[in-house]
Amino acid sequence: MINKEPIRPLSIDGTGHYLPQLEVGNDEFRQLVDTSDEWIRTRTGIRSRHLAEGEAVWYMGAQAARAALADACCTAEEIDVILVTTVTPDYVTPSVSCVIQAELGARRAFCLDLNVACSGFVYALDLASRYLQDPAISTVLIVAAELLSSITDFTDRSTCVLFGDGAAAVLVRRGDGTSGIHAVELGAEGEKGEVLTASIERPTSPFAAADRGRFPLRFSAARPTLQMAGREVFRFAVTVLADSVQAVLAKSGAGMEDLDYVIPHQANDRILEAAAKRLGISSDRVYAGLDTIGNTSSVSIPLALDRCRRSGRVRRGDTIAICGFGGGLTYGAALFTL
């Protein structure tokens, strides 16, 4: 039986998302690389994805944030903290969260960006629940925003068909104690970092050693575009998705029967099926909404949460597990009552 009282109360009062208008079908990739709709659909579950035509990360994030604020009947002045998850910030500085703060007029909020790749939303929700234990903080805005097309190599068929752009936001308040986090499991396996990389291009300092061999690069194969060893990531994903959900259930004294719904990071339908099988849960209790979205990194979980809330798939009082995995490598799961 699940412990009734959440260990860290919070209430998800609003959700929203933004997807670029441009929807690119699988067939359009045939002009770029040697691929087919059939290969992409059967290996991933993806039929199309939304790609930005110039939207900045902050712009997509602010649009999603406005939708979440409206949903929660919350004004920008009420926000105490803005957390942004992204691997594609518009600038090294200012952070995306600061730009969104200015855009919304959330003058009272302090702001920080998190880079945990596709696991980002789980980490952000954990952090929000910890901030909300401070009596001075009652309202946290989490925004996930990713412009993956800006780090995609559109000549690499093994990666370019997988990703999409977009943003999603969640407005979290402390709540009355009936809803909130039961357990969280977070982790990283930095020694596997080389299986999913993208580098940052910078000018070379005039003081840098000409002999680069003195300071060898950790990930010498990294390029400014995403490089991925797909099979290794696949294996990692299936294992950590199932294990981290089991870990949060065990920590909270819950069983699979207490779980109303699982919302995993959306990277590949086959990963979701394999993880559901490993967990021993029927696939109709596991969200799968990849077909018209693709992999949107940290956006995928809050985007799914928004869709599920708005469609009535999840309701107040439901016990939900979210779980993510991605670059780092990182992973995380959280069990909460909505």
Q: Which residues bind ligand COA (CB under 6 A)?
A: 35, 39-40, 43-44, 118, 157-158, 161, 228, 230-231, 233-234, 237, 267-268, 295, 326
Of residues 150 and 158, the one with the C-beta less far from ligand COA: 158
Task: Quote the least distance from Cβ 180 to ligand COA, whole Å.
Answer: 27
Of residues 137 and 228, the one with the C-beta less far from ligand COA: 228
Of residues 235 and 251, the one with the C-beta less far from ligand COA: 235
Task: Quote the least distance from Cβ 157 to ligand COA, whole Å.
Answer: 4
Of residues 10 and 195, the one with the C-beta less far from ligand COA: 195
From 182, 295, 308, 323, active-site residue: 295
Can 17 be counted among the known catalytic residues? no
**CA dihedral sign, ordered 264, 228, 150, 47:** negative
Can 3 be counted among the known catalytic residues? no
Task: Quote the least distance from Cβ 66 to ligand COA, whole Å.
Answer: 27
Task: Quote the least distance from Cβ 40 to ligand COA, whole Å.
Answer: 6
Is residue 302 within 8 Å of 168, Cβ to Cβ? Answer: yes
From 26, 265, 308, 323, active-site residue: 265
**Which position's Cβ is nearest ligand COA?**
230
Distance of alpha carbon 126 from alpha carbon 254, whole angstroms: 19
Q: How is residue 109 written in tokens?
A: 């909020």
Other C-beta atoms closer than 10 Å to the C-beta of 330 total 25
Of residues 87 and 143, the one with the C-beta less far from ligand COA: 87
Under DSSP, the state recorded for 313 is S
Task: Quote the least distance from Cβ 158 to ligand COA, whole Å.
Answer: 4
What count of residues does the chain have?
338
Other C-beta atoms closer than 10 Å to the C-beta of 265 total 30
Distances (CA, A) of 46 to 39, 42, 270, 296: 10, 8, 11, 12
| Residues facing residue 23 across a β-bridge | 50
Can 308 be counted among the known catalytic residues? no
Distance of alpha carbon 188 from alpha carbon 15, whole angstroms: 28
From 98, 111, 118, 160, active-site residue: 118
Helical packing angle, 300-311 and 120-131, nearest 10°: 70
Q: Which residues are the active-site residues? A: 118, 265, 295
